[in-house]
Amino acid sequence: MIATMFRKRLLWGVALVVLGLGLYALFRMPSLEKAPPFQHGDSGKLAASGEWTAYGGDLSGRRYAGLDQINTDNVSKLEAVWTFHTGDTADHKQDPRNLPAFEATPIKVGDTLYFCTPTNVIFALDAESGKERWHFNPGTDTRGHYQVTCRGVSFHHQAAEARVCRDRILAATLDARLLALDAASGKPCPDFGTNGQVSLRTGQEPIKPGFYSITSPPVVVGDVAVVGGLVLDNQSTDVPSGIVRAYDVRSGELRWAWDAGSAVNPLPVNAPYDRGSPNAWGVFSADESLGLIFVPTGNRSPDYFGGERSAVEDAHASAVVAIEAATGRTRWVFQTVHHDLWDYDVASQPVLVDLEQDGKPVPALVQATKTGQLFLLDRRDGTPLTRVEERPVPQNGVAGERLAATQPYSVGMPSLHPTTLRKEDMWGLTPIDRSWCERAYEKYRHEGLFTPPSLQGTINFPSNLGASNWGSVSVDPRRHILIANTNQIASIARLIPRVEADRMRAAGITLYHPSAGTPFAADIRPFLSPLGIPCNAPPWGVLTAIDLDRHQILWQRPLGTTRDLAPVPVPLALGVPNMGGSLITAGNLIFIGAAADNYLRAFALDSGKELWRARLPAGGQATPMTYTGRTGRQYVVIAAGGHAHLGSTLGDAVVAYALPGTSSRQHQ
């Protein structure tokens, strides 16, 4: 993955060279747009429920809380009030190739927090004190898995009286199991599947170790839990299906199966799954009133050559798909990239918000993408609410490839990422460094966004890390403000003819993207200078606010510093790579970790001004959440366990922050 560029070695040059060159790097940094202060009508204060019942706060995925005890006036006083260590330090003795990432966002129901560690150990903590109530270790087999992570768990309450497990935690594992646990005790629910678990390997065999896993929580709608899965990229055309399945939350019985490789959905009973079909590894959202689940999809393996893909697979790939929760029938499909050859799968959770159009309320869906485009859709039928144009894109791919003649551009919404990288955008800490990048730029093919992979090497900008990734965006439903944290990093994609790839393997050269079953292997690497620093100018990480009513950028600022990326702690505010998401509160605050330095930050929603930051014990590559405890005290919580791909500090902490001395009497 492209984020491996930011391991500890990468910014030696920053620490050693910048000290001698003063502010050269800062003078070269392009200015960011900052719009004038905006006056927005407040649609009214939302009820502060104090709960966080699903991964994104609720099924809408807005990552918003109507709590304002912590606000712009007092956030500077925020302090850590408890820290919990899971003990999952991710040494991964099962397989040393495992790279851990603590990406979990806890949910909060009643007075308990629930979350999972990278190896799927599930914890329940007292929401007020952070003390453990129970934990369950499913004994996950991590062998062969490259990235070891678990983003969260889900909750279901049975309205009717139940003999056991009236409240249950639903979670999925890396080794492809769906679990149901009693929320009160952590014990497996005996009425669910076999001893509280269902195998997700059914219909998927054969599965090579690490080729199929579940990293995101199931979405629970009514009495069904719907789960997708991650299929390992760029290994082979013969990999497990990207099947999406719904299970009865009480019995574990399969209700329906939806396959992006099938022309008929839901699949007939006992129908085989299409091997290698586009998967859906990210977090789903849902609208219970419409009975729809919104699924972000990837594309068929491998990513960088698509000559083997069927028309049906292409039609459902790199898209957001609305599926009926009760039946598994496809309601609508909106594709963000046609015939994706850049690993621009839809990684971000679709976010639901109600807007107005022509004076009438419209149930909308915002889809952030790796390309940096934001698509604003009517979630009832997938119709764009802002203008989308099909534009011609670069052609002349490799032999055997077919290219889409046009790609969708969301011209009615501001873009979160440039569409072209120019020679004059090359950057370096010294003139020599920059000159090297300029010469390298001239060797590769780059005609802007959607330049196809090539034998000479193609510059992809953004890289496959994307502008937006699984952290998605947050949305304030009162003021219709969207907050996005994005990356701006380039990569090189070079296709290797099969004969050459076979010679390389015979010589003992490891191919990380062998793409077996196609005429080409792939070599994908970040576009770096000899100092290990991106050739494109900073910022490499950006925080952006967008007005969803006016479709305008309100402000932008670099996100993160080099503080924890170099052996000498030089905190240059260049903006750094980030993984994770943001949280908005009614206190007009944005909370975000994500950046590859060990900080949790709070920004003013109106201006983007940083108001507070706290050092974390490890990288905060997760999405924070907030809630109120029994006494009415508001807490902000984040998992701080780092991200091996990003090169941030690893650990096992969950940290809670609150105002000193707050209680229910002070809660508004």
- 10 Å CB burial of residue 338 (0-12, 13-18, 19+) is buried
* Gap between the Cα atoms of 538 and 531, Å rounded: 15
Close Cβ partners of 584 (under 8 Å, ≥ 6 residues apart): 62, 63, 64, 65, 474, 475, 476, 481, 483, 590, 605
The pLDDT score that the predictor gives to residue 36 is 36
Tens digits of per-residue pLDDT, 432-457? 999 999 999 999 999 999 999 999 99
Name the pLDDT band for 146 (thresholds 50, 70, 90): confident
Tens digits of per-residue pLDDT, 13-24? 443 333 333 323
Q: Which of 18-22, 365-369, 652-656 has the lowest mean pLDDT?
A: 18-22
For the domain 2-666, what is the CATH code? 2.140.10.10
Options 259, 303, 340, 343, the catalytic residue: 343
**Do you find a cis peptide bond into 660, omega within 30 degrees of 0?**
no
435: Cα separation from own chain's centroid = 34
The pLDDT score that the predictor gives to residue 419 is 93
Give the bridge partners for 154, in sequence order.
170
Range 289-301 average pLDDT: 96
CB 225 within 8 A of CB 255: no
Tens digits of per-residue pLDDT, 623-651? 999 999 999 999 999 999 999 988 899 99
Close Cβ partners of 394 (under 8 Å, ≥ 6 residues apart): 447, 448, 450, 451, 452
Does residue 520 carry a pLDDT above 90? yes
DSSP 57-95: BSTT---EE---SS-TTTGGG-EEEEEEE-S-----TT-
The pLDDT score that the predictor gives to residue 566 is 64
* Gap between the Cα atoms of 216 and 256, Å rounded: 19
Token duo for residue 54: 């699903």
The pLDDT score that the predictor gives to residue 37 is 36
CB 428 within 8 A of CB 435: yes
Verify whether residue 343 is a known catalytic residue.
Answer: yes
Q: Which helix (H) or strand (E) holds 413?
A: none
- Tell me which residue has tokens 């944290």: 485
The pLDDT score that the predictor gives to residue 12 is 41
Tens digits of per-residue pLDDT, 486-516? 999 999 999 999 999 999 999 999 899 999 9
The pLDDT score that the predictor gives to residue 94 is 63
More confident residue, 90 or 538: 538
* Gap between the Cα atoms of 607 and 452, Å rounded: 39
Closest by CA position to 116, among listed 81, 80, 155, 82: 155
CB 462 within 8 A of CB 572: no
Tens digits of per-residue pLDDT, 542-552? 999 999 999 99
The pLDDT score that the predictor gives to residue 112 is 98
599: Cα separation from own chain's centroid = 19
CB 293 within 8 A of CB 345: no
pTM: 0.93
Range 308-325 average pLDDT: 96
Q: Look at the chain and count its residues.
A: 668
Q: Which of 14-28, 223-237, 312-326, 392-406 has the lowest mean pLDDT?
A: 14-28
What is the separation, in whole angstroms, between the first and last Cα of the chain? Answer: 44
Tens digits of per-residue pLDDT, 25-66? 332 333 343 333 333 333 333 334 799 999 999 999 999 999
DSSP 267-331: PPTTPPP-TT---B-S--EEETTTTEEEEE---SS-SS--TT--HHHHHHSSEEEEEETTT--EE
Closest by CA position to 265, among listed 185, 186, 322: 322
The pLDDT score that the predictor gives to residue 46 is 36
152: Cα separation from own chain's centroid = 12
The pLDDT score that the predictor gives to residue 42 is 33
Residue spans of the domains in the chain: they are: 2-666
Does residue 618 carry a pLDDT above 90? yes
* Gap between the Cα atoms of 368 and 416, Å rounded: 9
CB 429 within 8 A of CB 404: no
CB 544 within 8 A of CB 535: no
The pLDDT score that the predictor gives to residue 93 is 60
Name the pLDDT band for 658 (thresholds 50, 70, 90): very high
CB 99 within 8 A of CB 119: no
Token duo for residue 527: 């576009």
**3-state DSSP: the chain helix, strand, coil percent, rounded to 5?**
10, 35, 60
Query: Beta strand pairing status for 147-149 and 99-101?
Result: parallel
